[in-house]
Structure 1
Amino acid sequence: MLLAGVAVYRAWPLLFPEVVMSATLDPRCNLRAGACSSRLGEGREVRFGIEPRDIPLIRPLTLRVEARGFDVQGVEVDFSGVDMNMGFNRPRLTRQGDGAYTGTATLPVCVRDVMQWEARVLLRTGAGLVSVPYQFLTAGPGAQLPAG
């Protein structure tokens, strides 16, 4: 029991990092149409994109984050199901220079034909963690996304 308590205590900051700034979700963002930008005021901006744009399941996805106006020390993207727990999926991206970070991720197949996801871009800065959410849909094999 004590060992389990210590494990939870040590894992807590990884699973639930303290956020010092959080952007609001932009409902106009469509990652299938291209990268989306979120402005956080005072010249700060985060741009996030996923390739291929059809966002297939169980195939490697290329992630790109560009951050402007932040002292970024690291970037991760936390993928989670909006209304279904899909497990821990938080790849760490690699610095490419000039505020850009890239990496790869793979989304698992869900029992639902259409799944709504949230990709939360997490910027580790000198001031703390900055969180910027983006949402998108995926379709399982043979399923169609809703029109619109």
Structure 2
Amino acid sequence: MPQTEQSSNKKQYLIIAILGVFILAIWLGSSALSLPENKSTGVSVKSDCDLKKESCKVEINDLSMTVDVLPRNINSMTPMSYTVKIEGVESESVMIDLQGTEMFMGLNQTQLTAVPGQPGLFKGTGELGACTTGEMGWRATIVAVTEDGPVKTWFDFRAK
């Protein structure tokens, strides 16, 4: 066998070996580098309370979450003040996520700030995006992160 043919065969074997090692490294690396599974699935509860009429209290296991949005007359492009009070468990953080229920209105999330000296009290401000249809449905999802995992409730409402 001529030397160039042997050299060509060695190159092919080398390329195949390198590809095999590369594929093995990707397979092993993907499982090693993947994010750990979230073992806490959390709790989600829908609320039928009307945030446009009153502050709303939701009880989930040992946790009580009171949510208030001002002004009561919720409209697009109008600043709103959010207050969330968590009782029964410690909460690390609270976030409000506003989503249009009839059409995608973009990402609209507000991370609330813990009020110093008042455990479990979180406040923040935000506003609804402009809607060209006149009035539409919205869902306000409140997520409280606790040591036992996320606790979530949501409120549906309509706004102009």
Tell me which interval the TM-score lies in, with the shorter structure as reference length: 0.7 to 0.9
Cα distance between partner residues in 2 of 1:115 and 1:34: 20
Compared CA separation, residues 121 and 19, structure 1 to 2 (3 A): farther
Aligned partner of 1:123 among 128, 144, 159: 144
Q: Which residue pairs with 1:142 in the alignment? A: none
1:26-76 CA deviation, whole Å, 9 max, x = no partner? Answer: 22x11111111111123x111111101101211211001111112200010
Structure number with greater Rg is 2
Q: 1:19 deviation in Å?
A: 4.7
Aligned partner of 2:70 among 51, 60, 63: 51
Which structure dedicates a bigger proportion of its chain to strand?
Answer: 1
After superposition, the CA RMSD in angstroms is 1.6
Cα distance between partner residues in 2 of 1:88 and 1:45: 27
Q: Which residue pairs with 2:105 in the alignment? A: 86
Could you tell me whether the CA contact under 8 Å between 2:47 and 2:153 is conserved in 1?
no
Cα distance between partner residues in 1 of 2:47 and 2:97: 17
The amino acid of 2:156's aligned partner reads Q
Listed as ranges, the gaps of 5+ residues in structure 2 are 1-34
Q: Does 1:30 align with 2:50?
A: yes
Q: 1:110 deviation in Å?
A: 0.9
Could you tell me whether the CA contact under 8 Å between 1:19 and 1:131 is conserved in 2?
no
Aligned residues: 120
TM-score by length of 1: 0.75
SS state of the match for residue 30, structure 1? Answer: coil
Q: Which residue pairs with 1:39 in the alignment? A: 59
